[in-house]
């Protein structure tokens, strides 16, 4: 017979059911809390905060949180107390963890700054794309030396900076590459610099191997560079072509290639079983040959040399400096047009006595003498002169614009030396030429990616550096707003012309796509306010919604 459930029994069952539900809810709640706590602990361990970690472990033991079921037996009230205690503790631990994170960030900033200073202090002065400098740069890639390459203004202007007394005081020849270390140690001569920046693996430790490295470094300088210069420079339009000298140079190159090919018949690298300074020096000295004139038919008898060269330039450390090296497909010939274009103008300051020294083999010297009788412009250049001659001829992307009445330099001087609100700004609006210049508002597109403020500032200054050549025709004040992990970047730019200047040159396009750009109407109130606030680094910055943190000026 089925026993009927009495009223009391029914009630008791319902009560038990409710209790069971309550228990389940509490278990869930506690599990969630424990999970949060574990997460927090993991965060703290991650942030290396052993004191806090210890406190939490102690609390966990005290409250028996790890013993699964014990807590369940506690009455709900006690459990709730426990939960709120945990909550309080979460708040406290959060604050402590945040403080710790803050400390760690400061430490990170300090380290970063020290690193930057270190990098900034190991300086290599050169002109861009100097194959002599590549030797040192590649050696530094292997050894891990952090180098700052000063090759463009304002850090270094070839033909100017290297002729100043301050530079000559440190480097009496006034030649580049030139190295200055963080300890003030100065070196000239590219081979010495590359040697200094190498590690022991590149230099080799045994006297024999070290001497072999030196042998190949000298081989590059005396057997490869002179004929290479005679043969290649005319094809670059930086030296007058001389048939006889070129033919002799080709023979000399063949001789060097034969020696190398023979040596590399049974070897992967020039010395020992790994890349050394020997490979770096010889490969760099052959860069122009392989890029300009060693067409497949010419290099065909020297397969070991080409195999070795290709192996070298494809090493990551070489690639990081040289980029992709494309081997010559068709032997370049004398570029007469370029040669005449590149002749130094009459008003170019006379270059000190040195030209063509490495190219000047005895026979070449005789040729030169004959040519000296001829009138200009046959004066010979070397690769250094070529850099100098090419520099001012770089196509001016603003050349098509008619002259403007607004003198950017004058405004920049006012901005740098005088009060912004009372002098620089009135000067700006008094002289600003709406036809010749435009004003733009820029805003960084990815503020959610901005973390530490010093990193965001590096983003701004990095952009400024990459836009170095634009300085004459632009001015900007860019501001970082907010704090770590909650910031934004925006700025006001003044450009020559009515278009965004970045599109005028490929070199300028690295950063600009990361920003939204809006041309401002220079007569509008909005523009007036923005120019005022961004130039003066003060004001409401209503459109931003975050407090001013710091500003950077491109001038």
C-alpha pair distances (Å), 83 with each of 37, 59, 76, 344? 11, 12, 10, 83
Q: Which of residues 332-361 bind ligand GSH (CB under 6 A)?
A: 351
Whether the Cβ atoms of residue 276 and residue 270 lie closer than 8 Å to each other: yes
Cβ atoms of residues 363 and 229 within 8 Å: no
The least distance separating ligand GSH from the CB of residue 345, rounded to whole angstroms, comes to: 16
Nearer to ligand GSH, 174 or 497 (CB): 174
User: CA 150 to CA 137: how far, in whole Å?
Assistant: 12
C-beta closer to ligand GSH: residue 236 or 460? 236
User: Which is nearer to ligand GSH, 174 or 181 (by Cβ)?
Assistant: 174
Residue at token pair 């943190």: 549
In the complex, the smallest distance separating the C-beta of residue 127 from ligand GSH, rounded to whole angstroms, is 7
In the bound state with ligand GSH, the residue whose beta carbon lies nearer, of 176 and 270, is 176
Q: Tell me if 384 contacts ligand GSH by CB under 6 A.
A: yes
Q: Does residue 391 touch ligand GSH according to CB under 6 A? A: no
From residue 190 to residue 229, what is the string marking binding to ligand GSH with x (rule CB under 6 A)?
A: x---------------------------------------
Q: Which is nearer to ligand GSH, 43 or 189 (CB)?
A: 189
Decide: is 234 part of the binding site for ligand GSH (CB under 6 A).
no
The answer to whether residue 397 forms part of the interface with ligand GSH (CB under 6 A) is no
> Which of these ranges, 7-15, 173-181, 455-463, 503-511, lies near ligand GSH under the rule CB under 6 A?
173-181
Closest distance between ligand GSH and the C-beta of residue 169, in Å? Answer: 16
C-alpha–C-alpha distance, residues 66 and 84, integer Å: 17
Q: What is the CA radius of gyration of the chain?
A: 35
Q: Which is nearer to ligand GSH, 128 or 301 (CB)?
A: 128
CB of 195 to ligand GSH, least distance (A): 12
Residue of 131, 281, 271, 270 whose CA lies nearest to 195: 281
Interaction between residue 383 and ligand GSH (CB under 6 A): yes
Give yes or no for residue 174 binding ligand GSH (CB under 6 A). Answer: yes
Instruction: Kindly tell me which residue out of 40, 134, 177, 441 binds ligand GSH, with binding defined by CB under 6 A.
Output: 177
* Nearest by Cα to 285 from 143, 179, 149, 134: 134
Name which of 162 and 456 has its Cβ closer to ligand GSH: 162
C-beta of 220 vs 479, nearer to ligand GSH: 220
Beta carbon of residue 220, minimum distance to ligand GSH (angstroms, whole number): 10
**Is the CB of 190 or the CB of 198 nearer to ligand GSH?**
190
Query: Which residue has tokens 């990815």?
Result: 446
Closer of 112 and 175 to ligand GSH (Cβ): 175
Residues in the chain: 555
Site for ligand GSH in 485-524 (CB under 6 A): none
The DSSP code for 516 is E
CA atoms of 244 and 230, how far apart (whole Å): 10
- Element spanning 492, H or E: strand 486-496
Torsion sign over Cα 293, 299, 304, 307: positive
User: What is the full DSSP assignment across 396-431?
Assistant: -TTTTSPP-S--HHHHHHHHHHS-IIIIIHHHHHHH
Nearest distance, CB of residue 372 and ligand GSH, angstroms: 20
User: Nearest distance from residue 387's CB to ligand GSH, in Å?
Assistant: 7
Assign 3-class secondary structure to 191-208: HHHHHHHCCHHHHCCCHH
**Looking only at residues 131 through 170 of this chain, which bind ligand GSH when binding is defined by CB under 6 A?**
132, 159, 162
Which residue of 34, 119, 189, 379 would you call a contact of ligand GSH, by CB under 6 A? 189
Q: Which of these, 526, 315, 328, lies nearest to 440 by C-alpha position? A: 526
Question: In the complex, what is the shortest distance from the CB of residue 467 to ligand GSH, in angstroms, rounded to a whole number?
Answer: 26
Residue 25 token pair: 């809810």
Quick one: which of 352, 330, 383, 416 has its CA closest to 173? Answer: 352
- Per rule CB under 6 A, is residue 379 in the interface with ligand GSH? no
Terminal-to-terminal C-alpha distance of the chain: 100
Helix or strand run (H / E) with residue 553: strand 548-554
- Judged by CB under 6 A, the chain residues 247 through 276 that form the site for ligand GSH are none
| Residues in contact with ligand GSH, shown as a per-residue x/- string from 99 to 138 under the rule CB under 6 A | ---------------------------------x------
CB 519 within 8 A of CB 526: no
As a whole number of angstroms, the distance between CA 113 and CA 454 comes to 9
Q: Does residue 176 touch ligand GSH according to CB under 6 A?
A: yes
Q: Rounded to 5, what percent of the chain is helix, strand, coil?
A: 60, 10, 30
CB of 132 or CB of 203, closer to ligand GSH:
132
Would you tell me which residues interact with ligand GSH (CB under 6 A)?
A: 132, 159, 162, 174-177, 189-190, 351, 383-384
């Amino acid at each position: 017979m089925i026993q009927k459930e009495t009223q009391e029994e029914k009630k008791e069952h319902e009560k038990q059911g409710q209790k069971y539900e309550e228990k389940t809810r509490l278990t869930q709640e506690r599990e969630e809390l424990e999970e949060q706590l574990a997460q927090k602990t993991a965060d703290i361990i991650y942030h290396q905060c052993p004191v806090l970690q210890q406190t939490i472990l102690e609390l966990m033991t005290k409250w028996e949180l790890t013993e699964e079921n014990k807590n369940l037996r506690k009455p709900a009230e006690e459990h709730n107390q426990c939960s709120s205690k945990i909550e309080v503790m979460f708040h406290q631990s959060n604050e402590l963890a945040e403080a710790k994170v803050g400390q760690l960030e400061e430490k990170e900033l300090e380290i970063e700054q020290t690193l930057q200073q270190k990098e900034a202090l190991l300086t290599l002065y050169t002109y861009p794309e100097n194959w002599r400098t590549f030797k040192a740069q590649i050696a530094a890639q292997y050894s891990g030396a952090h180098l700052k390459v000063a090759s463009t203004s304002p850090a270094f202007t070839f033909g100017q900076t290297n002729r100043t007394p301050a530079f000559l005081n440190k480097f009496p020849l006034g030649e580049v590459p030139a190295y200055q270390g963080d300890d003030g140690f100065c070196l000239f001569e590219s081979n010495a610099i590359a040697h200094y920046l190498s590690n022991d693996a590149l230099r080799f430790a045994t006297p024999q191997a070290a001497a072999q490295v030196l042998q190949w470094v000298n081989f590059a300088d005396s057997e490869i560079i002179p004929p290479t210069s005679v043969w290649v420079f005319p094809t670059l339009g930086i030296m007058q072509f001389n048939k006889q000298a070129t033919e002799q140079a080709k023979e000399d190159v063949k001789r060097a290639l034969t020696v190398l090919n023979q040596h590399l018949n049974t070897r992967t690298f020039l010395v020992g079983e790994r890349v050394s300074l020997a490979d770096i020096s010889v490969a760099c000295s052959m860069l122009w040959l392989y890029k300009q004139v060693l067409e497949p038919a010419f290099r065909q008898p020297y397969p070991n040399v080409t195999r070795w060269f290709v192996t070298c330039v494809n090493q990551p450390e070489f690639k990081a400096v040289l980029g992709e090296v494309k081997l010559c497909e068709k032997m370049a010939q004398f570029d007469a047009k370029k040669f005449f274009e590149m002749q130094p103008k009459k008003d170019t300051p006379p270059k000190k006595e040195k030209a063509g020294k490495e190219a000047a083999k005895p026979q070449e010297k005789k040729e030169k003498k004959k040519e000296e009788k001829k009138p200009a412009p046959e004066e010979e250049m070397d690769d250094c002169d070529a850099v100098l001659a090419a520099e001012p001829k770089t196509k001016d992307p603003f050349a098509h614009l008619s002259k403007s009445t607004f003198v950017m330099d004058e405004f920049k001087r006012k901005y740098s030396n005088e009060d912004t609100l009372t002098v620089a700004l009135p000067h700006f609006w008094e002289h600003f030429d709406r036809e010749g210049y435009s004003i733009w508002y820029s805003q960084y597109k990815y503020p959610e990616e901005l973390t530490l403020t010093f990193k965001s500032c590096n983003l701004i200054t990095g952009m400024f550096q990459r836009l170095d050549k634009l300085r004459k025709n632009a001015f900007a004040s860019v501001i970082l707003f907010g704090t770590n992990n909650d910031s934004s970047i925006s700025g006001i730019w003044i450009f020559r012309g009515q278009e965004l200047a970045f599109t005028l040159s490929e070199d300028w396009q690295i950063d600009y796509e990361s920003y939204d750009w809006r041309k401002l109407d220079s007569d509008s109130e909005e523009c007036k306010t923005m120019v005022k606030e961004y130039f003066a680094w003060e004001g409401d910055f209503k459109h931003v919604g975050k407090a001013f943190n710091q500003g950077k000026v491109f001038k």
